[in-house]
Amino acid sequence: MGITELGFYREVVKFISIGAAFGWHERNAGNISLWLLPEEVASASPCFDETRPPRKLARAVPEMDGEYVFTTATGSYFTDMDETSFCICRVCGGGSGYRVVWGAEKPTSELCGHLLSLAAFKRAGDGRRAVYHCHPADLVVLTNVLPLEDKSFTTALWSALTECPFVFPRGVGVVPFRIPGSPELADATAELIPERDAVIWAFHGLFASGTSIKDAFGVAHTVAKAAEIRLKIISSGREPLNAPSLEELEQTAGYFGKKLNTFD
């Protein structure tokens, strides 16, 4: 069975196709990474080529040494995907590098940041193994008009849509301007993501996490919807007459078995 017939491949294509239809992936914008489970590696391994030369990472990720990650290729257009849009990398050299074992020769330019975040998930043992990066327009607009601060940005999203407290109860982190694809952006994201469900890159987009690509996409979709609603409230030019209290948001999260991060 070829890689393109496997379940994880089909799920990734399904959800990034939806994201592209939402307008989140202009040109070659956006990327994903999925840390493969042992059974996924076993099903894909007959297609692997372990003889390709290794490449260095800008930041070492020793926790991920030997792990396999399915990711998008640099320059891929999500509106026109095929197997050349993806690759599978094995982290090697004690975590200092990676080897492409299947697919496109060059993984996403955000690979280092993805691996640093996946390493944080592995240390935490919280079940997360996927990251989904996209460019929802309304969210990018909000980074121009809201304080670039975790608590206030999160509260603005939570109070816009009562689904938010149980979909991303850890809240969002906010990274001020960093050059896209840079080690500095990777470092800043990896510092925030262990305690957040998603990280917002100012003037750029969203980096969402989850236990699967479906889950990470769901976080991204909910954040984007809340951003759309918050922007409409701001654009009305009126002060909101009504908004849920922090206590009500905590009750909502608790009803669904989640604990809200109150940033205390």
Q: From the centroid of its chain, how far is CA 16?
A: 12
Q: What is the pLDDT of residues 24-59, one digit of tens each?
A: 999 889 999 999 999 999 999 999 999 999 999 989
At 196, the pLDDT band (50, 70, 90 cuts) reads: very high
Q: What is the pLDDT of residues 135-144, one digit of tens each?
A: 999 999 999 9
According to the model, what pLDDT value does residue 237 have? 86
At 263, the pLDDT band (50, 70, 90 cuts) reads: confident
According to the model, what pLDDT value does residue 78 have? 87
Cα–Cα distance list, 151 to 8, 93, 158, 192, 198 (Å): 34, 39, 10, 13, 13
110 catalytic per annotation: yes
77: tokens are: 């257009």
Q: From the centroid of its chain, how far is CA 145?
A: 23
pTM for this prediction: 0.94
Nearest CA to 189 out of 14, 31, 65 is that of 31
C-beta separation of 260 from 244 below 8 A: no
Which residue among 110, 163, 184, 247 is the active-site one?
Answer: 110
Could you tell me the domains of the chain?
A: 3-255 (3.40.225.10)
85: tokens are: 């849009």
